[in-house]
Amino acid sequence: MNELRIDALLPQEMATRAEYLGVRKAEMSFLKMFMLAVLAGAFIALGAIFATTVGAGSGAVTAPDGTAAFSAGLPYGVVRLLSGLVFSLGLILVVVGGAELFTGNNLIVMAWASGKVKGSAVLRNWVIVYIGNFAGAFLTAVLMFFTKQYTFGANAVGINALKTAAAKCDLTFIQAIALGILCNALVCMAVWLTYSARSTMDKILAIIFPITAFVAAGFEHSVANMYYVPYALLVKGFDPAFIQAVGDKAGNLDKLTWPVFLLNNLLPVTIGNIIGGAVLVAAVYWAIFLRSGKS
C-alpha cells in the first residue's frame, strides 16, 4: 500500500513539477491562456491597490523612492514592510486562485531547456500572457479611477499613487533593469517554493516573505507597474482639479507620461524581470536538478 505523503516536496521533485507545469502552460489554448492572464493582471493590481492604500498617510513625507512614509509614528522601512505584506495578496490570488502571470511563467524555461517544449511555444506563452496581464491591470486601473478612491484619506491615497508612479518613471534605464532582475528573482523563488507545497496554507506562507522582500526593497515588477503607472496617468490626465489641489505634494509629475513609462520603465523592467526569472532562477535550478537527466 502506498503511503500518503504530507511532507513538502524536495527540491528535485520541485524541479520535476516545474518542468511538468511548464509543459502544461505552454500547451494551453489561446483563449484560456489569455483569460487567465487578464485575471492575473487584475489580481496583481489588487495587491498594488492594497499596498498603495496602506502606504498612504495625510501626514506623509517623500521617501527616497517617491513613495510615502509617515512623518508621525512609523518609519520608512516599517511602511515598506507593511506595503510588501499586503501586496502579497496579488501573487496569492494568482497561485491559489489559478491565473497566468508573465513573471512567474519565466519558469517555463526549465521545460524548454529539457527539450519538453519548443522555444516558439515559450515565446507564444510569454507574449499572450504579457498582453493579457496588461489588459487586466489597465482595466483595473480604469475601474479604480472611476471609484475616486484616490481622494480617500484627505487625498493621501492619490498622492501616494502619484509619487509612486512618478518615481518609477524617473528611474534610469540600467537602474530599472537591475531592479527588475532582483524583483523577479524573488517572485520566481516565491513561485518555486509553492511547488513544494502540500496545502493552500503552505503556498500562502511560501509566497509572503519573497514578495514582501521585493516590495520593501523597492524592486520593480513589470505587471505591477502596468497598474501603478497607468492609474496615476489616468488621474493626471482626467482629473486636473485633483492634480491642481495636490500637485505640490505629489513630486515631479513632468516625467509621468506614457512614452516615458513604456520606454524608460516598462521595457527595461521587463528585460530585467526575464533575466531574473528565466536565468537566475529557472536556468540555475534546471542546471542543478534536471540537466543530468536530459536525454
Least confident among 69-73, 165-169, 170-174, 284-288: 69-73
Give the pLDDT confidence of 1-59 residue by residue, as tens digits: 455 567 789 999 999 999 999 999 999 999 999 999 999 999 999 999 999 999 998 44
Q: How far apart are CA 69 and CA 76, in angstroms?
A: 5
DSSP H stretches of helix in 195-221:
200-217
263, pLDDT greater than 70: yes
- Cell 542543478: give the residue: 288
CB atoms within 10 A of CB 64: 9
Query: Which pLDDT does position 184 carry in this prediction?
Result: 98
Integer CA distances (angstroms), 52 to 48, 65, 176, 272, in order: 6, 14, 20, 23
- Cell 512618478: give the residue: 166
Q: How far apart are CA 135 and CA 142, in angstroms?
A: 10
248, pLDDT greater than 80: yes
Query: Which pLDDT does position 66 carry in this prediction?
Result: 47
61, pLDDT greater than 60: no
**Cell, residue 175:** 537602474
User: Is the CATH number 1.20.1080.10 carried by domain 11-289?
Assistant: yes
Strand partners, 62: 68
- The residue-averaged pLDDT of 136-163 equals 97
Of 182, 176, 196, 213, the closest CA to residue 281 belongs to: 182
Task: Please state the domain extents for the chain.
Answer: 11-289
Query: Which pLDDT does position 3 carry in this prediction?
Result: 56
265 pLDDT band, cuts 50/70/90, is very high
63 pLDDT band, cuts 50/70/90, is very low
271, pLDDT greater than 60: yes
Query: Which pLDDT does position 293 carry in this prediction?
Result: 53
64, pLDDT greater than 70: no
Integer CA distances (angstroms), 38 to 22, 74, 132, 133, 137, in order: 19, 35, 4, 5, 7
192, pLDDT greater than 50: yes
251 pLDDT band, cuts 50/70/90, is confident
Query: Which pLDDT does position 59 carry in this prediction?
Result: 47
Those residues with Cβ within 8 angstroms of residue 198's Cβ, 6 or more apart along the chain or in another chain: 5, 6, 7, 8, 9
- The residue-averaged pLDDT of 92-110 equals 98
Of 156, 133, 170, the closest CA to residue 264 belongs to: 170
Q: How far apart are CA 142 and CA 112, in angstroms?
A: 36
